[in-house]
Structure 1
């Protein structure tokens, strides 16, 4: 249910952003925050110490506000384990699953594991 909800929020927010930008004089914007690992009461699972890979909610908010100020719609927030570059590569790989007709979530498919690992090491697999 969680992943379905995330997908629904993404599509709804994209549609809202499109609608708002087509309203003359509208000063309201929509932005899609995709946080990395964030240590909250919901994710703590009884722990009191933040895992080293997670960000604090305050770090996420700071990152989000800076991205909103820059006019970003997609706010892909890193954490201490996954860089923006790795996130970008994962997103590109998933998009190419559609184009290349690979199995869903092919980066975890045994037939594609080596290819995905190599893809992560390419110098520049996408345009910026």
Structure 2
């Protein structure tokens, strides 16, 4: 599989991109680049060989965790993975009220490639990259 992810540099292809959801198609064609220009998000294209099959946008966010959320996270009750913390960092981590996060602001797969598992593959690639 020759999948590559690149920063969106040329917005020209956005005019022809179709994911099959009319409202999302309109946003991609008319509004996504404005979101990038105004620093709301950074957009990326996903290519299979040389063909664009998807696009996504990432933005920075934060999580606000209260004491119950932190307890759920540390005891494994939460659906999120328990953070791997050293003993000397655990107290610092748990004392923070806000935690940085990366949000997938938009994700759209070309309608010709929909329902083939590409969305899952892209999300896994984003998560892998964010953790390295």
TM-score by length of 1: 0.22
Report which of the two structures shows the higher radius of gyration computed on alpha carbons.
2
TM-score by length of 2: 0.21
Q: Which has the higher contact order (CA 8 A, sep 6+)?
A: 2
More strand by share: 2
